[in-house]
A = this chain, B = another copy of it.
Amino acid sequence: MRKRQGILIVLDGLGDRPNPELGGKTPLESAETPNMDYLASRGMCGNTYPIAPGIRVGTDVGHLQLFGYDSAEIYSGRGPLEAYSAGMKMMPGDVAFRGNFATIDDDYTVIDRRAGRIRKGTSELAESLNGMILEDGTKVLVKELTEHRVAVVLHGEGLSDKVTCTDPGTAAEGSRLVVPSALDESRSAERTADNLWEFTQRSYNILSDHPVNKERNEEGLYSANAIITRGAGLERLMPTLKDLYGIRAACVAGDATVGGIAELAGMDYFTDESFTGSFDTNLTGKALLTLRLINEQNYDWVVMHVKATDLAGHDNIPVAKKEMIGKIDTAIGLILRKIDLNSCYITITADHSTPCEARDHTGDGVPTIIAGGDARRDIVTSAGESQFMSGCLNNLTANDIFMLQMDLIGFTEKVGS
């Protein structure tokens, strides 16, 4: 097959519904999007489903689907993704947890789930626990993430992700830590629950005496004296995009979850402090980096991710969502001026919809464009959920859109002969 390059631009949570603040239009429909309109007019469009109509997905599952995976086969809890995003390389059989540094009292009642939203010293705190060897020989790996977040990995034999975790939940100040228990009859689940509790208790003792916390106590700040965990997940073998399609792929993002999934998929993950995952993210920087990866480093497929559209949906600020879409369109224009659309296809889509009024991810279809080179063209000439209902990609899935991209850039295998 003839080889080409492809860029996938993911606008997190882009899909929306008619909004009264925007005169009954969606943010995408009401935004100024000359570049997306141009791509719509010379490509294929539609509202496409992450998995199937009405199925709501998280950012993690949404991206697995966009990267061509069957998430039902791959997904095993958020823990492993967080561990990947922290740069921890897990081995098959390891069990990972998402965690928070938290403040608890001496009978294990949670005083603050985020240790006063601690930002400094978490690296030293994690390091004091990292490498702990538990009674049965299991080793614990601990690595700080952004702010109060932390990843915990149990590395050893005979572990399981079928356990309850210690975090008593989001509105849980005043509740005691949950003592982990097995969720099935297996010896491995029982052992993992015991290990997690041993780690929790020993961590409390170590962290309580840690210099970082002594300093926090003196300053009147909440002590980060515990790690509370959730999202147990077992490391499974996941074939990379290189294994599956032979492509050399990269991901440009400012969001740790997306970066973690990209790395799980064997993509090279590029980020920068200026890629904040919020409204102030450096869109020009992302566009220039994407261009460099395509034009200079010759990646076959580059994913560029922008998070803020999702935040605007969760916060129900449709005008901000509309304006962010306009800024992203400007960055897309920058890309369009510096690539050859005859040899590089551009796809624009989302991992899921986050309609402002719903304030959460929904199972609505997400706006999608595939354009460039000799790609077919449908009757759609501007970007918007309503317009895309008449497009030729309407009601396809994220996996379909992935395979269409792989096929356009020449990385699919012929079935049969």
Contact = CB atoms under 8 A, between A and B. Distances in A.
Interface of A: 1-2, 17-19, 47, 51-62, 64, 71, 75, 78, 231, 355, 357-365, 374-379, 385-386, 389-392, 394-396, 400-408, 412-417
15 contacts: A17-B375, A53-B400, A53-B401, A53-B403, A54-B400, A54-B404, A54-B412, A56-B413, A57-B416, A59-B416, A60-B416, A71-B416, A231-B417, A363-B403, A363-B404
Please name the 5 residue pairs, one residue from A and one from B, whose CB atoms are nearest each other, closest first.
A54-B403, A61-B416, A58-B416, A363-B407, A389-B392
A412 B363 contact: yes
A18 B374 contact: yes
Given A52-B403, A358-B1, A390-B390, A58 B374 contact: no
- For the complex formed by this chain, how many copies does it contain in all? 2
A415 B71 contact: yes
A62 B416 CA distance: 8
Given A54-B412, A395-B396, A2 B60 contact: no
A75 B414 CA distance: 13
A132 B104 CA distance: 66
Of listed A376, A377, A379, A385, residue having the most chain B CB within 10 A: A376
B17 A374 contact: yes
- Chain A facing B: main interface SS: loop
B18 A415 contact: no
Contacts of A60: 416-417
Contact of A417 (B17, B19, B78, B377): B78
Contacts of A2: 357-360
A355 B375 CA distance: 10
Given A56-B414, A64-B416, A392-B395, 4 more contacts: A52-B400, A78-B416, A362-B408, A379-B389
Contacts of A407: 54-56, 362-364
Contact of A395 (B395, B406, B408): B395
A415 B375 contact: no
A154 to B, nearest CB: 20
A354 to B, nearest CB: 11
A97 B126 CA distance: 61
Nearest to A404: B54
B17 A53 contact: no
Contact of A54 (B55, B360, B402): B402
Contacts of A389: 376, 378-379, 391-392
Of listed A386, A389, A396, A406, residue having the most chain B CB within 10 A: A389
Given A54-B412, A374-B355, A47 B392 contact: yes
Contacts of A53: 396, 400-401, 403-404
Nearest to A49: B400
